[in-house]
Amino acid sequence: MKLLIADRDENERLGIRWLVTSSSLPFSTVLLASTVEETIAMLESERPDVVILELDMVPRNTFEDLKWRLGDYVQKVIVTTTEATFARAMEGIQLHVEQLLVKPLSPAQLQGLLKKSLIKLEPERSIKDPVQEKDDYFFYHELFVEEASIHKETYTLFLVQPDQTNSLRSLHHSLQAYPFQQPVTILPLSQRMACLYPSLDRSQVVNEARRFLRDWHETSQASIGIAFPAADLQDRGIYHQYQDVKKGIELFFYTGFQHVSEPREQVSWRSIDPFLSPEEQAEWEDMLMLGDQQRMRDWMYQSFLNMTAPYPDPGLLKTRLTSILAHVRRYMKTHHLHLDPSIEEQYQGVFQSILHDRLLYKIVQDMLLFISYVVEEVDGERLDYYDVVESCLTYIKSNFGNPDLSLEEVAASVNRNPSYISSLIKDRKKQSYRKLLLDIRINEAKRLLGASREPIQQIAEQVGFSQSNHFSRKFKEATGVSPKVFRNQKFRS
């Protein structure tokens, strides 16, 4: 196997070569390069298996070129840098590096990384390092099993939580590549990352977490929060720390992300009633009926955004929010707004926001915007309620002669949803659309039968019936007599 050492510092190149050749590492050839140009040439001609690359020697204008060649020719890349910055870590991620090391290099750490790289290169071995897999298994075991306590005296636990789950992959890569002072064990969970730092110096670990948070914020649009267990749990096992910090991470629901939470004491929730009291229900019904948006906004801000610790359990608070949304839902149904697809879609969006959003402030703002929209729709509906119904009646009276006149066509004439128009007609006229249309047709037929000698078939067609038999049956059901008898009676009188 071939190893390429690319570094501007001759002492670094020679020191790493001595470390490799004097150990049991099975590299048959060790190549040296002092410039990017030499590195690219050796990548193309020698095709090394592993490269140790000084990242600081790569200018920006050749970074993409080098990245392309490393991806094509090299299986494992280890990069070194004198700058422990997030920008360097992100460059390492782009190069798909095995590890980013900060100078001065630790011979033991470098030797261990090279051994790992060689293990991964052996085709008969698993892609994952079996030693690391075994360690990760025990760490996961300690998170979830109370009796497990192998590492309790050597690690500090903290959780990293993104505000959106779609940021988890990039967060994982960033944590793996970040130049922490000590190698951090990263355990991906379903909604967050658990990190185990090999030190019990809490202040050091907190400072490292703050450094990562600051660098992440400078390069990513996604927000994250970092939470530590209570300080008084420092000497307890990882399981107890994890049970506490799971609560601590939920404090971001109230306080927002982009900071490090390091409580002195364990988190406890205060008790609340998750449902609205009868008085609160009556108040919401009154506010909605009056369309008092300012009062509703003040109520929401006072109830949800002015809270101080100890906070209520976020799950109970979300239940309380859905209770309010249920009142808005009933208000929508009273005014038939649930039949409008666009409003219904917005309602479902707010409901999902309550269930899944990780920031209380965003949920409250989403609810207030939606409530405001619904109230304004109802206000507008009150103004044009009669206009819409009258417009529909005018359209029906002008087109009832069309035997195919449908509710959909009438609704389209006023740019409304058919179900909504059907509800309006029932509410205003106390009858269905079909009955209303039939009454209009029968009344017009009665007028024509008494004013002319036109054949009944022709009158039937004029009022929207394509078959005279069907017309005669409906006419008799409505008047008690057939069209012929009705005409005779009219002319005799």
Q: pLDDT digits over 86-104, tens only?
A: 676 777 777 777 778 888 8
| Distance separating alpha carbons of residues 414 and 219, to the nearest angstrom | 51
- Per-residue confidence at 134, pLDDT binned at 50, 70, 90? very low
One-letter amino acid identity for 324? I
pLDDT for 177: 83
Beta bridge partners of 363: none
Distances from the Cα of 469 to the Cαs of 453, 465, 473, in angstroms?
18, 9, 6
In whole numbers, what is the pLDDT of the chain averaged over residues?
A: 86
Average pLDDT over residues 465-477: 92
b/e map 422-441, b = 16+ CB within 10 Å: bbbbeebeeeebeebbbebb
pLDDT(157) > 70:
yes
Q: Do residues 344 and 338 lie in contact, with contact meaning Cβ atoms separated by under 8 Å? A: yes
**Residues 162-186 pLDDT 10s:** 988 888 888 998 898 888 888 899 9
pLDDT for 385: 55
pLDDT(124) > 60:
no
Helix (H, G, I), strand (E, B) or coil at 44: helix
Q: Domains in the chain, please, with CATH? A: 2-121 (3.40.50.2300), 130-261 (3.30.70.270), 269-376+400-430 (no CATH)
pLDDT(423) > 50:
yes
- Per-residue confidence at 377, pLDDT binned at 50, 70, 90? confident
Q: Do residues 151 and 238 lie in contact, with contact meaning Cβ atoms separated by under 8 Å? A: yes
How many CB atoms are closer than 10 A to CB 401?
13
Residues 6+ apart with CB under 8 A from 96: 70, 71, 77
More confident residue, 106 or 367: 367
pLDDT for 131: 41
Question: How does DSSP assign 221-238, residue by residue?
Answer: SS-EEEE---GGGTTS-H
Average pLDDT over residues 348-367: 93
pLDDT for 66: 87
Average pLDDT over residues 388-403: 90
Average pLDDT over residues 248-256: 92
| Distance separating alpha carbons of residues 229 and 152, to the nearest angstrom | 13
| Half-sphere exposure at residue 472, Cβ-oriented, CA atoms within 13 angstroms | 12
pLDDT for 493: 67
Residues 6+ apart with CB under 8 A from 236: 152
Average pLDDT over residues 48-73: 87
| Distance separating alpha carbons of residues 437 and 435, to the nearest angstrom | 5
pLDDT for 380: 67
pLDDT for 419: 86
- Per-residue confidence at 395, pLDDT binned at 50, 70, 90? very high
- Per-residue confidence at 24, pLDDT binned at 50, 70, 90? low
pLDDT(370) > 70:
yes
| Distance separating alpha carbons of residues 49 and 457, to the nearest angstrom | 94
Q: Which of 56-60, 232-236, 412-416 has the lowest mean pLDDT?
A: 232-236
Average pLDDT over residues 468-488: 92
Q: Which two tokens stand for residue 270?
A: 């205060």
Q: Considering the chain, what percentage of its residues have pLDDT values greater than 90?
A: 46
Helices and strands (DSSP H and E) totals, the chain: 21, 10
pLDDT for 213: 93
Q: Do residues 418 and 411 lie in contact, with contact meaning Cβ atoms separated by under 8 Å? A: yes
| Distance separating alpha carbons of residues 384 and 393, to the nearest angstrom | 14
pLDDT(421) > 90:
no
